[in-house]
Amino acid sequence: MRTRVGIIGAGPAGLALAHLLRLRGIDSVVLEARSREYVERRVRAGVLEHPTVELLREAGVADRLDREGMPHHGLSLRFDGADHRIALTDLTGRSITVYGQQEVVKDLIAARLEAGEPIVFEASDVRPHDVETDRPYITYVDADGTPQRLDCEVIAGCDGSHGVSHTAPSTVPSTRHEHDYPFAWLGVLAKAPPSHSELIYTHHERGFALHSMRTPEITRLYLQVPPEERIEDWSDDRIWDELGRRLTADGFTLTTGPIMEKGITTMRSVVTEPMRHGRLFLAGDAAHIVPPTGAKGMNLAIHDVWVLAEALGRYFGEGRTDLLDGYSDTCLRRVWRAQHFSWWMTSMLHQAPGADDFQRRLQLSQLRYTASSTAAATSLAENYVGLPYR
């Protein structure tokens, strides 16, 4: 096969890029290691920034999002046994929308297949080649076991932190900035109505907890645990008991129900610089990872491919290379802002191992200031709802 843009990965980044390119008349082929069923059922992020929602609307793939998404105009910081609401919309004029990453993926897959554009699922041994030349190509083995070659002019690596794109041979030296956090999140998906109308970020002496949701019938909840914790040691009863302890507040009742999924995720920050190697452009988790506290991962990926689609449109349409040359720097400015915000939220809300009373009192001081100062609350709000793309 031959195409203009070969896209590795059918997550939100790869699929959004393919859709944005199609709107510009640029053909592409998407290669995905997993099956369609797996990709559409993979539960990940669930908070969409205001600019992300606006982009999906402009791209014509937000019909179901607008019907089923859950707009939120505020969130709660819960500490000292009480809620302190951050009024996102009142402070910024913008909001967030709770809509699962897998739902965004379903919408983008449906739009692409309806347009008759190719997605190659279950492609194994995917490898980019000759990325430093003007004739890059990708080799892979299709679902029938047949070796294939995809010739292209540009390769987009949207295959996540465990993919092959960020390890592709390159003559361009890269720097990988990494930071490991001394805790993990135990996350559960429960068949239970949300216990609160908005997200609750809880600072508690036993550790951080987060109350979120995916639909009016399904709740998403998280507990801070040590990174070496084993999920086998957490029965459903133990999980609900610990959530009840940490989320306690006056007038709050935790709604429980059957736990559908549970798992433990370590927390880290990663930034790869630059995000380009010749004709290979990295996007999303292939280039950067943020701790989930700030709800930035999928939103950064969508911003990356928005920048890349615009740059490729100018390149193929007008022969301009300046936007492609500036791709990495443009994306990294937003990436580092999101990294700082996510680190700040994480540091303010979690109980660090070995923290003394002095450090805990500093955390509470920051929380109280953020909840009581309009300037501090506005800073949190504008970062949380998403800074403008331009």
- Catalytic entry in 12, 50, 51, 72: 72
Nearest to 238 by CA among 249, 223, 253, 219: 223
Distance separating alpha carbons of residues 122 and 106, to the nearest angstrom? 17
- Catalytic entry in 99, 201, 222, 327: 201
Distance separating alpha carbons of residues 70 and 154, to the nearest angstrom? 37
Task: Burial-class residue 149 by CB neighbours within 10 Å (0-12, 13-18, 19+).
Answer: exposed
Strand order in the sheet with 137-141: 124-129, 137-141, 147-151
- 296 catalytic per annotation: yes
- 201 catalytic per annotation: yes
- Cα angle value 328/18/53 (rounded, 5°): 80
- 99 catalytic per annotation: no
- Catalytic entry in 50, 204, 296, 350: 296
The structure tokens listed for 333 are 């400015």
Residues 341 and 383: beta-carbon distance below 8 Å: yes
Distance separating alpha carbons of residues 30 and 117, to the nearest angstrom? 9
- Catalytic entry in 274, 292, 315, 327: 292
Strands 47-48 and 124-129: unpaired
- 137 catalytic per annotation: no
- 118 catalytic per annotation: no
Active site residues: 72, 201, 292, 296, 384
